Chain A
Amino acid sequence: MLDILHKIFVGPFIEMSHAPDLLVQVLWEGFVSGTLYALIALGFVLIYKASSVFNFAQGIMVVFSALTLVGLIEMGLPAWLALLMTVGVMYVLAVSVERTILLPLVNQSQSTMIMATIGLSSFLIGFGGFIFGGEPKSMPVALLGIPTGSMQFSVFNGHINIQNLDLAAAVMALVMVTTLGIFFSKTRIGRALRAVADDHQAALSVGITLKQIWVIVWFTAGIVGLTTGIFWGARSDVSFSLQIIALKALPVLILGGFTSIPGVFIGGLIIGIGEQLFEYYWGVQMGGGTQGWVAYMIALLFLWVMPQGLFGEKIIERI
């Protein structure tokens, strides 16, 4: 009994203090996957903010955009043109979603909208598979100008190893989160987006055009998806199994709150770092593979204490 307690509460910390360089390495890896989780969750938050719809198709949009990009490059297009065309495809997708799903279903219940996004994800899986085939593809990292290789740093009498790709991903995620955060809080369009999220009928009454807002939001979510797809695709393969990572966005959203952009970032970091730390220092004793569930455990704990998340909007109710 005492032995188990020692393994849980003392052992891991002794390990950490004995090998601080390993700790830094673990933290860094957690940080990188955290920023990527944040990117995925950001796509959900954008759409949830502007239309109160939990977009089940977000994971597929990540895969679909990455597939389009890789597919176009494989067809022999230069990388910059393929990137540009993928952005175009995401725009077309946003407009078609607005025309065929959002507009006809305006003022419908939330569950109707959720079903519609599930339908959209089935469509994208089928359509993407039809055009680009089902087999996994690899992201042509070099063609896209994403740095590869790694850097060595010495800290605490040891080394840590930083993949350039990871560094690029983290920087990109940070830039996106900050830009979108500023865009939402300071600009005229951002204000309109938040207004639509609060009360779309009232937003209509002051002359905000819902169609325009929806297209902007879905297009932005598509671009965020594309960025996520590029970096996740570069770390593994581009295939439809990648959509599973979208499920990792759920605990991040629960932690950060469904409507907060900084919340998404912090939430992503907590989940990413928590997951890595647990796996390295506690998971080993449990046989490993804890990444599959630790994130959800953390989310569950948060649901008990702070059901609206760290930065979620307070639900304002008049009584």
Chain B
Amino acid sequence: MILELDSIDVVYDHVIQVLKGVSLQVPRRGIVALLGGNGAGKSTTLKAISTLLQFERGEVTKGSILFDGVRVEHSTPDELVRRGCVHVMEGRRCFEHLTVEENLLTGAFTRKEGSSVIADDLELVYGYFPDLKLSRHSLAGYVSGGIQQMCAIGRGLMARPRLMLLDEPSISLAPRVVEEVFEIVQKLNHEQGVSILIAEQNINIALKYASYGYVLENGRVVLDGEANELRNNEDIREFYLGIAGEHRKSFHNVKSYRRRKRWLA
């Protein structure tokens, strides 16, 4: 396992508890999906791992996070990047006033190697994202959302990570572009051996590419399993994929209550 979370609690501002006993594991070279709706605690989980939490007045109060066998919950973000864990944040977060290429180069900030190695890696990133090469000299603030997402992932890649935390890479992208981004992520996983933990609301696409998934609700892991197992789970199908039974749902017959989720029993 490259990443192991053992029943962590996260508290914001000393009073607001957001995560309650979350445990999850990412195997080496694996793709794992972290699923759930808005406010379920997906982003918080990722921020707890990358320790960006401390800059939002959040804190891991219980449990432990092991990255590559080392406890990291009280580490710093740059320390984690150096160890090989990069967090690609939700909403792309490119540096708008830097060009695409400069954005990629900031990703190599922690690297100690010479500029020729960095230049090789830049070419490697351009190899995976040919679109980035075409707009390498444009300001990142002006390129399309898809390119920005690629830029954010490419920037993460420049740190030569062993584990990438992707937070909602599908957000506000056209379905075709979402496919494209996930295809590249899968390729990175296969060819570069980067382990991947994706937080997604788009459960359909996440389960298509991941091999294992965890479902978060209200800060708890309520369900986990192999991806195809989850895809066929009745609760997942009804509550997240909107498919109920054999027939399409008619909204004429929708009652004001819904079937109780089994995991709440």
Residues of chain A whose beta carbon lies under 8 Å from any beta carbon of chain B: 106-107, 188, 191-192, 194-195, 197-199, 201-209, 313, 316
* B139: A residues at CB distance < 8 A: 316
Q: Is the CB of B102 within 8 A of A205?
A: no
* A198: B residues at CB distance < 8 A: 95-98
Q: Is the CB of B156 within 8 A of A201?
A: no
What's the dominant secondary structure at chain A's contact region? Answer: helix
- Closest CB-CB distance, A296 to chain B, in whole Å? 28
Q: With A and B bound together, what is the CA distance between A313 and B96 in angstroms?
A: 10
A-B contact pairs, 17 of them (CB 8 A): A194-B97, A195-B95, A195-B103, A195-B106, A198-B95, A198-B96, A199-B95, A199-B96, A205-B50, A205-B88, A206-B106, A206-B159, A207-B109, A208-B109, A313-B97, A316-B97, A316-B141
Q: With A and B bound together, what is the CA distance between A205 and B87 in angstroms?
A: 6
- Closest CB-CB distance, A191 to chain B, in whole Å? 6
Q: With A and B bound together, what is the CA distance between A204 and B107 in angstroms?
A: 10
- Closest CB-CB distance, B265 to chain A, in whole Å? 39
Q: Is the CB of B106 within 8 A of A208?
A: yes
Q: With A and B bound together, what is the CA distance between A107 and B56 in angstroms?
A: 7
Q: Is the CB of B93 within 8 A of A199?
A: yes
For the complex, is B239 an interface residue (Cβ under 8 Å from A)? Answer: no
For the complex, is B237 an interface residue (Cβ under 8 Å from A)? Answer: no
Q: Is the CB of A191 within 8 A of B98?
A: yes
Q: Is the CB of A206 within 8 A of B97?
A: no
* A106: B residues at CB distance < 8 A: 55
Q: With A and B bound together, what is the CA distance between A208 and B106 in angstroms?
A: 8
For the complex, is B105 an interface residue (Cβ under 8 Å from A)? Answer: yes
Q: Is the CB of A192 within 8 A of B106?
A: yes
Q: Is the CB of A194 within 8 A of B98?
A: yes
Q: With A and B bound together, what is the CA distance between A313 and B82 in angstroms?
A: 32
Q: With A and B bound together, what is the CA distance between A202 and B89 in angstroms?
A: 7
Task: From B57, B77, B102, B103, give the contact of A207 (CB < 8 A).
Answer: B77
- Given A107-B55, A207-B77, A207-B82, A202 contacting B107 (CB threshold 8 A): no
A-B pairs under 8 A by CB, number: 80
- Closest CB-CB distance, A3 to chain B, in whole Å? 51
Q: Is the CB of A195 within 8 A of B159?
A: no
Q: Is the CB of A206 within 8 A of B98?
A: no
Task: Pick the 5 closest A-B CB pairs, nearest first.
Answer: A207-B81, A316-B141, A202-B93, A207-B110, A198-B95
Q: With A and B bound together, what is the CA distance between A313 and B98 in angstroms?
A: 11
* A195: B residues at CB distance < 8 A: 95, 98, 103, 106
Tell me which residues from 61 to 80 in chain B have a Cβ below 8 Å from any Cβ of chain A. 76-78, 80
Q: Is the CB of A207 within 8 A of B78?
A: yes
Q: Is the CB of A194 within 8 A of B81?
A: no
Identify 12 new A-B residue pairs, CB closer than 8 A, beyond the known A202-B93, A206-B106: A107-B55, A192-B106, A194-B97, A194-B102, A201-B93, A202-B95, A203-B95, A205-B77, A205-B89, A206-B81, A207-B159, A316-B139
Q: Is the CB of A206 within 8 A of B52?
A: no
Task: From A203, A209, A313, A316, give the contact of B106 (CB < 8 A).
Answer: A203
* A206: B residues at CB distance < 8 A: 81, 86, 106-107, 109-110, 155-156, 159
- Closest CB-CB distance, B98 to chain A, in whole Å? 6
Q: Is the CB of A201 within 8 A of B78?
A: no
Task: From B52, B96, B98, B102, give the contact of A204 (CB < 8 A).
Answer: B52
- Closest CB-CB distance, A315 to chain B, in whole Å? 9
Q: With A and B bound together, what is the CA distance between A206 and B82 in angstroms?
A: 10
Complex: chain B residue closest to A206, CB-CB: B107
- Closest CB-CB distance, B49 to chain A, in whole Å? 11
Complex: chain A residue closest to B46, CB-CB: A205
Q: Is the CB of B95 within 8 A of A204?
A: no
Complex: chain B residue closest to A49, CB-CB: B97
Q: Is the CB of A201 within 8 A of B55?
A: yes
* B57: A residues at CB distance < 8 A: 107
* B55: A residues at CB distance < 8 A: 106-107, 201, 204
For the complex, is B94 an interface residue (Cβ under 8 Å from A)? Answer: yes
Q: With A and B bound together, what is the CA distance between A207 and B88 in angstroms?
A: 11
